[in-house]
């Protein structure tokens, strides 16, 4: 019996990087994982790996910027499962790369806010009722250390993550006395991801922690026995 046996989990950004690693780990721990990502091929490869290891996955090809489709996914999940136990918002957008604030074009600015803020708001709105149906609903969202200071060229990305943190901690405060929900943020620190490679192209990814190395924190926050709530968990 895994630590998440019998639980239903949804993971965004599941086709690569941290999202992929978390989806695989949740499945290995016994959860049935709804894997959300834009890339069909990446999801199919993930499904093959999860199935080969004896896990269960449901593939959900979805561009999170198609906000109304998030509601459709929630409705379909209610019909199939009647609840959601775990929500992991991992997908992120760096906003076209690093540049001075005045050089970021409107398209990339909007994409970053759409993925990092608005999509997560829509996830909260759509899945809050299903998480409350669970006997131990758990939600976690990935943030970044760039919210802890002032970092030139990271302004748009930092602004989206600051907004996400405020939104998530406010949601946590709103439900603390009226539900069994536990809601937290995770700052994964430095990890060898595609986003990291874009930001630091000269860095050797082999010298960095890999996505599979940091999944324990996600499992701990997803467990029914987790008592942490409204916190930011740092992985270092």
Tokens encoding 5: 């046996």
CB 49, CB 28: distance < 8 Å: no
Catalytic residue among 121, 151, 153, 157: 157
Known catalytic residue: 151?
no
Q: Which residue has the tokens 């010298």?
A: 207
Report d(CA 148, CA 140) in Å as an integer: 19
| Torsional class of 86: left (φ above 0), alpha (ψ -120 to 50), beta (otherwise) | beta
Report d(CA 227, CA 236) in Å as an integer: 21
Tokens encoding 169: 């901690």
Report d(CA 117, CA 204) in Å as an integer: 30
Q: Which residue has the tokens 């190395």?
A: 213
Residue 114 CB partners (closer than 8 Å, separation 6+):
64, 65, 93
Q: Which residues are catalytic?
A: 157
């Amino acid at each position: 019996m895994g630590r998440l046996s019998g639980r239903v989990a949804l993971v965004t950004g599941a086709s690569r990087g941290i999202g992929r690693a978390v989806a695989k780990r949740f499945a290995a721990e016994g959860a049935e994982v709804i894997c959300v990502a834009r890339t069909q091929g990446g999801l199919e490869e993930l499904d093959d790996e999860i199935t080969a290891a004896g896990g269960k996955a449901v593939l959900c090809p979805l561009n999170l910027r198609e906000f109304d489709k998030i509601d459709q996914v929630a409705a379909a999940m209610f019909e199939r499962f009647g609840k959601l136990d775990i929500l992991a918002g991992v997908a992120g957008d760096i906003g076209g790369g690093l540049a001075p604030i005045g050089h970021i074009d409107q398209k990339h600015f909007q994409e970053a806010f759409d993925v990092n803020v608005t999509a997560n708001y829509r996830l909260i709105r759509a899945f809050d009722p299903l998480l409350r149906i669970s006997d131990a609903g758990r939600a976690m969202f990935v943030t970044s250390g760039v919210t802890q200071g002032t970092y030139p060229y990271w302004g748009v990305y930092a602004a989206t993550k600051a907004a996400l943190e405020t939104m998530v901690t406010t949601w946590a405060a709103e439900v603390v006395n009226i539900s069994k929900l536990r809601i937290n943020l995770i700052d994964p620190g430095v990890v060898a991801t595609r986003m990291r490679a874009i930001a630091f192209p000269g860095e050797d990814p082999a010298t960095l922690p890999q996505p599979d190395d940091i999944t324990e924190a996600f499992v701990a926050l997803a467990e029914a026995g987790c008592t942490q709530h409204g916190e930011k968990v740092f992985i270092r």
